[in-house]
Amino acid sequence: MSSTAGKIAVIDYGMGNLRSVWQALVHVANGKEIVVTADPAEVAAAERVVFPGQGAMPDCMRELDARGLRAAVLEAAKSKPFLGICIGLQMLFEHSEEGDVPGLGVFAGRVRRFPADKMHSPQGDKLKVPHMGWNEVRQIRPHALWQGIEDGARFYFVHSYFVDPVDRDTIAGTTDYGLPFTSAVARDNIFAIQCHPEKSAHAGLALLANFIQWQP
């Protein structure tokens, strides 16, 4: 076995702070080693991969390419347990309205901004963008990463854009904010979620613990 066997790689393409993700994973890792890395070889050698992201998607795509990580991400998304978080979910899609940029195209579909004409609650109150705070995630279908998490549990969100998958069978979770939107997708070895499990208290830690155990 190589020295990297069993490692969980958090991909670091220089956008924002990965400490929270790393710390939450360490908290549930049960002794598994978590590495934050910008090295494609280390990503390739890892047992499983976490693909986080924050900030603006055009910047994230640019930095990913600037660090030569695109191929490593695409390969990991084909071959090993893969968890996308926030912009890490959005980047898996074909295109984003944010900056009108192409994404990685792992999932067919586009990333859209919350439409201004829908940003009011059923009671008529104005809904703010970014969608910031704790909202419910409906589990649209069973998945290993939902294990032990109540259907409708609240997770912490911060985002202004959401994914709109072409293949509706990939939708694993939905959330309401002015309109119902896709808050989690899953296919084969990939699970990706819009909220921040690393900041979502018990529900989020449970999801990360499930990911570490997951055998897709």
Partner 1 sequence: MGLAKRIIPCLDVTAGRVVKGTNFVDLRDAGDPVEIARRYDAQGADEVTFLDITASSDQRDIILHIVEACASQVFIPLTVGGGVRTVADVRRLLNAGADKVSMNTAAVTNPDLVAEASAKVGNQCIVVAIDAKQVAPGQWEVFTHGGRNRTGLAVVDWARRVQQLGAGEILLTSMDRDGTKNGFDLALTRAVSDAVDIPVIASGGVGNLQHLADGVSIGGADAVLAASIFHFGEYTVRQAKEYMHERGIEVRL
Give the active site residues.
86, 196, 198
Backbone torsion region of residue 150, taken as left when φ is above 0, otherwise alpha when ψ lies between -120 and 50, otherwise beta = beta
The site for partner 1, by CB under 8 A, has a size of: 38
Closest by CA to 119, choosing from 111, 110, 128, is 128
Pick between residue 144 and residue 205 the one whose CB is nearest to partner 1. Answer: 205
CB of 23 to partner 1, least distance (A): 5
Pick between residue 65 and residue 176 the one whose CB is nearest to partner 1. Answer: 176
Pick between residue 7 and residue 196 the one whose CB is nearest to partner 1. Answer: 196
- Cα separation, 174 vs 169, in Å, equals 12
Pick between residue 22 and residue 107 the one whose CB is nearest to partner 1. Answer: 22
Restricted to residues 87-126, the positions that interact with partner 1 (CB under 8 A) are 119, 121, 125-126
- Select the residue interacting with partner 1 from 128, 147, 150, 213 (CB under 8 A): 128
Q: Which stretch binds partner 1 (CB under 8 A): 4-12, 34-42, 154-162, 166-174?
A: 154-162
Pick between residue 77 and residue 195 the one whose CB is nearest to partner 1. Answer: 195
- Select the residue interacting with partner 1 from 2, 17, 30, 215 (CB under 8 A): 17
- Cα separation, 8 vs 114, in Å, equals 33
Contact criterion met (CB below 8 Å) for 47 and 81 = yes
- Cα separation, 110 vs 150, in Å, equals 29
- Select the residue interacting with partner 1 from 65, 169, 176, 188 (CB under 8 A): 176
Contact criterion met (CB below 8 Å) for 102 and 92 = no
Other Cβ atoms within 10 Å of 180 Cβ, number: 11
Indicate the DSSP class of residue 201.
H
Q: What are phi and psi of 12, to 5 degrees?
A: -110, 105
- Cα separation, 215 vs 21, in Å, equals 21
166 in contact with partner 1 (CB under 8 A): no
Q: Which stretch binds partner 1 (CB under 8 A): 64-72, 97-105, 186-194, 196-204?
A: 196-204
Which chain residues interact with partner 1 by CB under 8 A? 16-17, 19-20, 23-24, 27, 54-56, 119, 121, 125-136, 152, 154, 156-159, 176-177, 198-201, 204-205
